[in-house]
Amino acid sequence: MKLGEQSYALENPPKIIAHYSVAGPVESKGMLGNFFDLKLDSDEWGEKSHELAECKMHHTAIMKALDMSGLEFKDVNAVMCGDLLNQIIASSYSAKDIEIPYLGFYGACSTFGEMLCVASLMISSGSFKNVTCSTSSHFSTAERQYRYPLELGTQPTPTSQWTVTGSGCSVLSSDGEGPEIFACTIGRVIDLGVKDANNMGAVMAPAACDTICTHLNDLNISPEFYDLIITGDLGKFGSKLLLELARERGFELKDVHSDCGSMIFNNQPQTIQGGSGAGCSSLVFNSYIIKQMKSGNLKKVLLVPTGALLSKTASMQGETIPGIAHAVSIGYRYN
């Protein structure tokens, strides 16, 4: 059922019946290291390129989550995948030997939120029964593609973020047990004119603010309805900006807001403002957050993956960078 401008109440809330997380070496040494299902001690994971390593991480996350769900391939309506690589090859190559219909999504680092919205609506309405939702990113594939060869040793700027090496997968189902998705808000593209490709927090904070405020208005609730409102990868600077922007729209988020990008590392100096990447929110969600929900420490969470819709070509042509964010309400009634 549509609520307000951009939100939906899910009458038959899909359950997250299984989840899996694969983390790179820097992430594994971060604050959430203990929560990851698989911790890699090398960026390459025995592959001949970083791109193949990302595919292997993404494929592993899907297959392990499917294993844990107990579902057979034939029972799964679709694998929904996304990543940051050009033509999302980490996704399509991961799905090559999985004999399940494939749907590819691109919403930059908001992709995990985008596919959770679509999958939830599909399951709640009865179109689908079981779906996997997965994203990945990799520091070295992202640096090569978006920035400079690693060998150059280029100095990051003070507003830089560190692309998360990792992948997370959730299996959503109409039946079974697990945290439930009871509402979602699909975001709009927001462009406030930022052109600095090294300041993604500033690009995404206005989009996060727009989606969160719209969500709260559409559902007619206050921020305290949630134990946690967690954005994808605003980083430390972007998180501050979000709080200020939300205040201007009448919402105080400081007591409930955290950011996946800000919490994933442990002040490791190279990570500067924190983590980013399409794998950031799915890795944190499919490890720390979902385990906190299952242990009863969190009851209601608003997950808001955020994305900067930039491309190297657009930045080189001097274009502004639009942002987007999607919000998913998750609750766990068994605690």
Q: Is 312 in the site for a second copy (CB under 8 A)?
A: yes
CA distance 290 to 191: 32
Residue 311 is classified by DSSP as: -
Residue 14 is classified by DSSP as: P
Count of residues in contact with a second copy, rule CB under 8 A: 58
**Which C-beta is closer to a second copy: that of 11 or that of 224?**
11
Q: Nearest distance from residue 251's CB to a second copy, in Å?
A: 20
Residues 43-72 that bind a second copy (CB under 8 A): 49, 51-52
**Which C-beta is closer to a second copy: that of 166 or that of 187?**
187
**Which C-beta is closer to a second copy: that of 105 or that of 226?**
105
Q: Is 35 in the site for a second copy (CB under 8 A)?
A: no
Buried b (16+ CB within 10 A) or exposed e, 41-67: eebebeeeebbbbbbbbbbbbbbbbbe
Q: Nearest distance from residue 27's CB to a second copy, in Å?
A: 23
Q: Please give the full DSSP string across 135-188, using - where no structure is assigned.
A: EEE-HHHHHHHHS--GGG-PPPPTT-BEE--EEEEEEEESSS-S-EEEEEE---
**Which C-beta is closer to a second copy: that of 5 or that of 224?**
5
Through-space distance between the first and last CA atoms of the chain, rounded to whole angstroms: 26
> What are the structure tokens assigned to 16, written together?
């997250």
Q: Is 121 in the site for a second copy (CB under 8 A)?
A: yes
Work out whether strand 7-9 and strand 2-3 pair parallel, antiparallel, or are unpaired: antiparallel
CA distance 83 to 112: 9
Q: Is 86 in the site for a second copy (CB under 8 A)?
A: yes
Residues 174-193 that bind a second copy (CB under 8 A): 186-189, 191
Q: Which helix (H) or strand (E) holds 3?
A: strand 2-3
DSSP helix/strand/coil, 90: helix
* Segment contacting a second copy by CB under 8 A, of 101-109, 170-178, 246-254, 262-270: 101-109
Q: Nearest distance from residue 174's CB to a second copy, in Å?
A: 12
Q: Is 309 in the site for a second copy (CB under 8 A)?
A: yes
**Which C-beta is closer to a second copy: that of 42 or that of 125?**
125
SS3 per-residue string spanning 261-292: HHHCCCCCHHHECCEECHHHHHHHHHHHHHHH
**Which C-beta is closer to a second copy: that of 35 or that of 102?**
102
By CB under 8 A, name the binding residues for a second copy.
Answer: 2, 5-6, 8, 49, 51-52, 74, 77-78, 82, 84-89, 92-93, 95-96, 98-108, 114, 117-118, 121-122, 124-128, 145, 186-189, 191, 309-314, 317, 319, 322, 324
